[in-house]
Amino acid sequence: MPRLLVVEDDSAVRTTITTFLELEGYEVDAVASSAEALERLRTARYPIIVSDIYLDERTGLDILQAARQMDPRCAVILMTARGTMETVMKATEGGVFDYLAKPFELDRMLETIKRAEAALAEAERGEASEPEELPETEMIGSSAPMVELYKTISRVAPTDATVLIEGETGTGKELVARLIHRNSKRAGQPFVPVDCGAIAPTLLESELFGALKGSYTGADRDRVGVLEAAHRGTVFLDEIGDIELGFQLKLLRFLQERQVRPLGSARAREVDVRVLAATNRDVQRLVDEGKFRQDLWFRLNVVRIKVPPLRERFGDVRLLAAFFLRRYNERYGQQARLLESGLGVMEQYRWPGNVRQLQHMMERLVILAPAGRIDAEAVREAIRAMESREQVSESLADTEAEQIRRVLAATKGNKSHAAKILGIERKTLYRKLERLGMI
């Protein structure tokens, strides 16, 4: 076990931490001031340091800097009861391993130290270790919340229950819906997704229920509705929170009666479909605000599945990154390698766009990483680019043109795909191409 240095000026806290860690089997050197800490760093090597931030004339950030200067691989864990945006930013820039807000559970500190140990072991090997075997599956993730999710999917899939899938954007709601269908007795029948948010409210009814020729302006032929087309299969109503109040009643009736009557038709037909729905909105709130019918909500909400955001799935970033790395290396004929330092940055990131964002980022990194090395700087650059979207400073203009060229080459000139990889809107890409004289 590595030797730990604990820096904490509060003697009670220092003793608690030290005793706890010693009971866990670590050899601990504990000091009370920054001066003592720096003295220790000069004489001994500590792969892991746990330090308070507010100490004396110097802070934990100084300890961090000194420690990383002497040994760039040293894992420094900072703790404070007075964390601010600025200190966290500085700590992150200084290469902190993790940041614990006090009060914290000792077990949490231990877990962080264990992670640091694991990271150190890997750093010895340089390249981010690929998980031994990527399982043959399309839904990647072994974290506890994902295992719970798999359990729920396996329980509800064989039933005909209506399922409501909730989760932030990009968490994999549609993937969950497809898995439910694939594992149901309807697997051999159609799975038909409908993006309720993207279809104009006036067209949603004919899209779902169908319409006879002439039933509305523009209906120049009979149209079979999705619900009928999916007979014996599964319909996936995506973005259900976006359905207009007026249409909600019709949908409710359908869920109760399982009959469709195309627009302009007098006859209703029975259909046998299973309904899965998804939303990234807080529908309960829409109900409270009177924007979503409570009765429809109850109907949809027979089984509710919540897909957890990526930042709550510890360990999955590594698996997903390896999965997408392999996919895009194959697709683009590259040999990009993900370094432990790059993975470290990914594991610290909050992933507002969840798995989809990680997927796009890996695609981008595979195409753009200099010399195929995806290190911390490359990942930070990709995050910055994806977060800032439009704004590109003048000094970046050169590399930007180069990046655009490489991405366009990789996507064989497909501009919407290229825009996705670059993390910009398609029209922004056109603007840039124009400005760069590339079209």
Ligand X SMILES: Nc1ncnc2c1ncn2[C@@H]1O[C@H](COP(=O)(O)OP(=O)(O)OP(=O)(O)O)[C@@H](O)[C@H]1O
309 lines the binding site for ligand X (CB under 6 A): no
Stretch that binds Mg ion, among 125-133, 166-174, 184-192, 322-330 (CB under 5 A): 166-174
- As to burial, measured by CB atoms within 10 angstroms (0-12 exposed, 13-18 middle, 19+ buried), residue 38 is middle
Question: Min. distance of Cβ 243 from ligand X in angstroms?
Answer: 15
174 lines the binding site for Mg ion (CB under 5 A): yes
242 lines the binding site for Mg ion (CB under 5 A): no
| C-alpha separations of 55 from 59, 108, 112 in Å | 5, 22, 21
If you ran DSSP here, which 8-state letter would residue 217 be given? T
Of 173 and 432, the one with the shorter C-beta distance to ligand X is: 173
* Secondary structure class of 396 (helix, strand, coil): helix
Question: Min. distance of Cβ 149 from ligand X in angstroms?
Answer: 9
Of 45 and 151, the one with the shorter C-beta distance to ligand X is: 151
8 phi, psi to nearest 5 deg: -155, 125
How far is 412 from 396, CA to CA, in rounded Å? 24
299 lines the binding site for ligand X (CB under 6 A): no
The residue from 174, 207, 228, 242 that contacts ligand X (CB under 6 A) is 174
Question: Min. distance of Cβ 356 from ligand X in angstroms?
Answer: 4
Stretch that binds ligand X, among 75-83, 101-109, 167-175, 410-418 (CB under 6 A): 167-175
How far is 140 from 327, CA to CA, in rounded Å? 13
* Secondary structure class of 305 (helix, strand, coil): strand
97 phi, psi to nearest 5 deg: -80, -45
CA angle 425, 427, 428 (to 5 degrees): 65
Binding-site partner at residue 262 among ligand X, Mg ion, none, CB < 5 to 8 Å by type: none
Stretch that binds ligand X, among 82-90, 165-173, 335-343, 385-393 (CB under 6 A): 165-173
Sheet strands (E) in 55-124: 75-80, 98-101
Binding-site partner at residue 139 among Mg ion, ligand X, none, CB < 5 to 8 Å by type: ligand X
357 lines the binding site for ligand X (CB under 6 A): no
119 in Cβ contact with 340 (< 8 Å): yes
**Closest chain position to ligand X (CB):** 172
Which residues, including other chains, have CB under 8 Å from residue 347's CB and lie 6 or more apart? Answer: 317, 318
Question: Min. distance of Cβ 363 from Mg ion in angstroms?
Answer: 18
Question: Min. distance of Cβ 354 from ligand X in angstroms?
Answer: 7
How far is 418 from 400, CA to CA, in rounded Å? 13
Of 71 and 174, the one with the shorter C-beta distance to Mg ion is: 174
Footprint of ligand X on this chain (CB under 6 A)?
138-141, 167, 169-175, 280, 355-356, 359
